[in-house]
Amino acid sequence: MKPSNTYNCMNAWGRLLFLIIILNFCLGVDAHQKNADLMEVSNTDSLPDFTDARNFQDSLNVFIAFAQHHYEKHPEVVIEVAKKICIDANRKEKDSELFTALYYIGKSYSNLEMPDQAWKLFNRITDVNSKPSQEIFFKTCLGKTWLSINESDYELANKYCQIVLRHPDINCAMKAEAYLCKSIIESEKGNYKPALSYAAKGLDLPIDSVHPNIYGNLLNQTGYIYSILGDNSLALKNYLSAYQIGQKYKDKELLYYSTNNIGTIMFGMGRLKEAAAWFDKALGYFHQMKVRPSNIGDIYNNLGLVNQGLGNLAEAEKYLLSAFEYFHADKDLGGEAAVLNNLANLKMMEGRWQEALELVNQSIRLNREMNDFVNLSSVLHTRAQIYNQMHQTSKAVQDLDEALSYATSYHLINFFPDLYLEKYKIAKASGDLVDALNYYQLYSQWKDSLDQDFHQSQLAQLQQELNSLRDSLASISSTQTANTTFDNNQNNTPAWVWAVLIMATGLAIIALIHALYYRTLLKNEKHMHQEELKRTEDIKAELAIANQNAQESERITENFLSTMNHELRTPLNGIIGFASILRDELQNPQHINMAIAILQSGERLLNTLTSILDLSDLKSYRVETEISDFMLHPLINRCLVDYRDKAEEKGLQIIYQPEDYRIEVRSDESHVEKIIRQLMDNALKYTEEGYIKIDLLQQTINAKEWALIKISDTGVGIPKDLQGLIFSNFRQASEGINRKHEGVGVGLSLTRNLVNILGGKIEVESEPGKGSSFTVYLPVPTEKGLISRTSLPAAGLEEIAHKPSVLLVEDEETNREFMVYTLQDDYDVDAYVDSRSALEAARHKTYDIVLLDINLGRSASGIEILKKLRQMENYRLTPVAAITANALKLKPEGLLKEGFSHYLAKPFTRNELKSLVKKMLNEAE
């Protein structure tokens, strides 16, 4: 620019005034002084240009001091002042001060999102004829890196970033910023493990030597990568650390991004209210800083998702549409694609499938334009769900296969469970049971694997932190050495030669692939119809074989259960019986605890056997019911007596709140008791702290009266997508070797089947981390029915002179000794091991009652002994009880038809045996 004559005429006072104005900016201004700053800049219009070298140098130094303080918060002011004193890329000076000034002007343009002007200034600094200071040169390279990242030119960004990282003398602040850039570059290319490594190197640098904003953004970047890899725990940890740094240094930008990120993680963990609170914080920081429209779009998008999760669909749509407007105004295609996908999910919830399809198609188109295959995998999953609902299964499968290919290529393992679950649903609905089973197994395996990886990462975190400094130093050294070697090798051949060779090779490969593809396509089309027919026949044959195998498997299973039921119940009877005797009669506390442990183990095995037996009955439709009218309150009270001690041992409180003590139902009392106990067992098993609450109330639903038994707990809870699974046979919400709770998974399946048989229904409400609530609906009698009760005889006033006599026939020694030991104090017990000796004893003595084991080994069975006893005059009306371990095949109703008056299944307790004998004697009188 030509020198201005006005400048030479300016007196010393004018120059001093100008310098004072500039120094005003150097000393720093508060946010509320910004308007005053702009006014002062506008008042410099009357000042002449500084074209004299000496005076220009003075102004340049003052400008640099000013720009250092204000290029981030007031970039427009820096640019305006630079224009007034004619600092631009066209100046011919080559001194380092000019390039320093140009750097801050370039950063100001970059902060204002004016990349063309920034590139022009940065290129002037790195020009081969320029001589900037080493620090400004590397800072300019970082500036070019950020510009390239914003333009999605990751190759160019990597080039400038490597220039910085390769130099051994750069300070820690620039090295940390370079590692941040490198991590972003790798993550944007889908290379998440290298991205995580670079971020870790940045975080391993001394924190005092790194700019707080850079260090905080390294934490945010690390959290982002962990969230992509499915480790929300580590993601949240890093986001919270970034938030703390933002609070410490009052960095509004850092606070904005970290609060928004924390809200995103909370949303992913299902903690919607907490997510909304963090997003509200982000909104507050947004209003205190300068951000792009897409930033506010991020928050509105997230608030839309939160409201969608809370069921506020109208509010969710409002936020999402606002987010789309902001993204569109900022020309942020990625943001637009994300919002369109979220809107599609919203329309799906409302059942508006065609609108959802149109929205998701737009999202897919944008993702393909950007080559964003990570998000494309998620969006394709959305469209597959829509196609499935519209019964276009072939298109759904095609989208799922493409989504799985991207998830595999970019190692997005947290996508696998949902994708395989969707494929399972489609295969099941299509009747392809074999594929359905395979996909469900894959879903379960990946789900279990992710859960296991999460816990292993927690265990490895401490060791990783302890070794981080040593590893980072070694890694930095090896990286620098490798980079130096790589660069030396690359310099031997001109870059354009490699480019031409690569391009030519690539074109040749593409042409060959296309030729082979079309040749194969034409060939396959001829046989497509025949193969389809053959595949259909093969599937039919496989299904026929599968059906035949299933029937054979069911038969084998029933025989196995019958045999094992008997073989396990017989020894269990002795184990539980003698363990209870030891518990009651031992004096040493340590021995008592051992006896209790044996008893509890035996009872646990018995409960498992009983559940399997009941479930087998339900599957075979062998369950019979005895319907009567009875009150629920006494039944519930009787059940709770057995659970209060167990609850106290775990530190749990049992709360029982009946709305009405007189509520009656018309049902099977024994089955209802079994339902209550199964639900109480379930609540006790999955609750570690808090309470278990039982509510009893009556409601009118659709003009019909129902009694409601509601059992709630504060346990682990059940995810919504697994709530249907828990009622399946042999299934639990957590399965496999690594499942957290014991059991074979038949309890709730048995409960639901029993409720259905009784004409009721069962519902579950649950939230992970907060607990579960199971509500059983049982029909209330429309008119008062008679409640049959057995009247117990009044106790006699006269003392009985002799003990009642009991004939016991049991061939298993342990069980025989247990029964004799239990009864011998109150009764005259004669025990025999076979039919011959037992019948001989019955001929010579008249017993008051008879206890017969059904399976007597090689001897005649208990049924055969009964028939011979009934032929004797003295035993035609004598109460005879059948004692059996084969409860799977020998049902009470069948044995009663054979002539038995009572029934007792092994294993049984001392009290059950004594109660049976008393009942038999009362009836004998």
Model confidence pLDDT, tens digit, residues 121-131: 899 888 877 78
Say whether pLDDT at 594 is over 90.
Answer: no
Higher pLDDT, 348 or 441: 348
Q: What is the mean pLDDT of residues 356-378?
A: 89
Kindly report the CA angle at 394 between 391 and 396, in degrees rounded to 5? Answer: 75
- Residue 690 tokens, joined: 């808090």
Strand order in the sheet with 691-701: 653-658, 691-701, 704-713, 771-779, 761-767
Higher pLDDT, 534 or 235: 235
Superfamily of domain 805-924: Response regulator (3.40.50.2300)
The band of 243, judged by pLDDT with boundaries at 50, 70 and 90, is: very high
**Between helices 433-490 and 192-204, what is the axis angle to 10°?**
50
Say whether pLDDT at 522 is over 70.
Answer: no
Please tell me what DSSP assigns to residue 230: T
Give backbone dihedrals phi and psi of 698, rounded to 5 degrees, phi first: -125, 135
Question: Which range among 227-236, 318-327, 394-403 shows the weakest confidence by mean pLDDT?
Answer: 227-236
- pLDDT given for residue 750 in this prediction: 72
- pLDDT given for residue 802 in this prediction: 61
- pLDDT given for residue 25 in this prediction: 42
H or E segment and range at residue 102: helix 96-111
CB atoms closer than 10 angstroms to residue 502: 10
Q: What is the mean pLDDT of residues 37-42?
A: 42
Higher pLDDT, 531 or 729: 531
Residue in 365, 372, 321 with CA at minimum distance from that of residue 342: 321
The band of 462, judged by pLDDT with boundaries at 50, 70 and 90, is: very low
Distances in Å between the alpha carbon of 920 and those of 31, 176, 654, 811, 859?
94, 87, 36, 22, 26
Give the C-alpha separation, 771 to 745, whole Å.
Answer: 18
Give the C-alpha separation, 435 to 439, whole Å.
Answer: 6
Pairs from 107-112 (Cβ < 8 Å, separation ≥ 24)? 107/71, 107/72, 107/75, 107/143, 108/67, 108/71, 108/75, 108/76, 108/78, 108/79, 108/82, 109/75, 109/79, 110/143, 110/146, 110/147, 111/71, 111/72, 111/75, 112/75, 112/76, 112/79
The band of 133, judged by pLDDT with boundaries at 50, 70 and 90, is: confident
Please give the mean pLDDT across all residues of the chain. Answer: 76
Give the C-alpha separation, 290 to 73, whole Å.
Answer: 8
Residue count of the chain, please give it. 925
Give the C-alpha separation, 263 to 259, whole Å.
Answer: 6
Kindly report the CA angle at 650 between 644 and 655, in degrees rounded to 5? Answer: 40
Say whether pLDDT at 317 is over 50.
Answer: yes
Say whether pLDDT at 21 is over 50.
Answer: no
- pLDDT given for residue 685 in this prediction: 85
Residue with tokens 């004193």: 85
Identity of the highest mean pLDDT range in 198-207, 302-311, 624-633: 198-207
Pairs from 544-552 (Cβ < 8 Å, separation ≥ 24)? 546/433, 546/434
Ranges of each domain in the chain: 5-132, 629-779, 805-924
Is there a contact between 611 and 744 (Cβ–Cβ < 8 Å)? yes
Say whether pLDDT at 659 is over 90.
Answer: no
The band of 592, judged by pLDDT with boundaries at 50, 70 and 90, is: confident
762 DSSP β-pair partners: 776
Identity of the highest mean pLDDT range in 95-99, 103-107, 440-444, 548-552: 103-107
Residue in 124, 50, 40 with CA at minimum distance from that of residue 84: 50
Give the C-alpha separation, 816 to 808, whole Å.
Answer: 8
Kindly report the CA angle at 219 between 217 and 225, in degrees rounded to 5? Answer: 100
- pLDDT given for residue 443 in this prediction: 79
Say whether pLDDT at 215 is over 60.
Answer: yes
Could you read off the pLDDT of 814-827 as tens digits, one per residue?
888 888 888 988 89
Higher pLDDT, 507 or 778: 778
Please tell me what DSSP assigns to residue 724: T
The band of 144, judged by pLDDT with boundaries at 50, 70 and 90, is: very high
Give the DSSP per-residue string, 651-703. Answer: T-EEEEEES-TT-EEEE-HHHHHHHHHHHHHHHHHH-SSSEEEEEEEEEEETT
pTM metric for this prediction: 0.43
Give the C-alpha separation, 881 to 849, whole Å.
Answer: 8
Say whether pLDDT at 797 is over 50.
Answer: no
Pairs from 344-350 (Cβ < 8 Å, separation ≥ 24)? 344/382, 344/383, 344/386, 345/308, 345/382, 346/304, 346/308, 346/313, 346/316, 346/317, 346/320, 348/382, 348/385, 348/386, 348/389, 349/308, 349/313, 350/313
> Before 206, cis peptide (omega within 30)?
no
Q: What is the mean pLDDT of residues 914-923?
A: 87
- pLDDT given for residue 844 in this prediction: 87
Give the C-alpha separation, 592 to 598, whole Å.
Answer: 10
Is there a contact between 907 and 887 (Cβ–Cβ < 8 Å)? no
Residue in 173, 155, 151 with CA at minimum distance from that of residue 164: 173
The band of 463, judged by pLDDT with boundaries at 50, 70 and 90, is: very low
The band of 613, judged by pLDDT with boundaries at 50, 70 and 90, is: low
Give the C-alpha separation, 697 to 776, whole Å.
Answer: 11
Higher pLDDT, 922 or 890: 922
Give the C-alpha separation, 306 to 300, whole Å.
Answer: 10
Could you read off the pLDDT of 274-298 as tens digits, one per residue?
888 888 888 888 777 665 666 778 8
Say whether pLDDT at 346 is over 70.
Answer: yes
H or E segment and range at residue 908: none
667 DSSP β-pair partners: 628
Higher pLDDT, 821 or 802: 821
Could you read off the pLDDT of 535-576 as tens digits, one per residue?
556 655 665 675 566 566 666 666 666 666 666 667 777 788
Residue with tokens 């934490």: 219
Could you read off the pLDDT of 699-754 as tens digits, one per residue?
887 677 899 999 999 988 887 766 555 655 433 444 333 344 444 344 577 787 78
Give the C-alpha separation, 308 to 316, whole Å.
Answer: 5
Superfamily of domain 629-779: Histidine kinase-like ATPase, C-terminal domain (3.30.565.10)
Percent of the chain with pLDDT over 70: 71
Question: Which range among 104-113, 676-685, 775-784 shows the weakest confidence by mean pLDDT?
Answer: 775-784
Give the C-alpha separation, 113 to 536, whole Å.
Answer: 60
- pLDDT given for residue 681 in this prediction: 86
Higher pLDDT, 551 or 163: 163
Give the C-alpha separation, 688 to 740, whole Å.
Answer: 12
Give the C-alpha separation, 608 to 615, whole Å.
Answer: 11
Q: What is the mean pLDDT of residues 638-652?
A: 85
Give the C-alpha separation, 634 to 658, whole Å.
Answer: 11
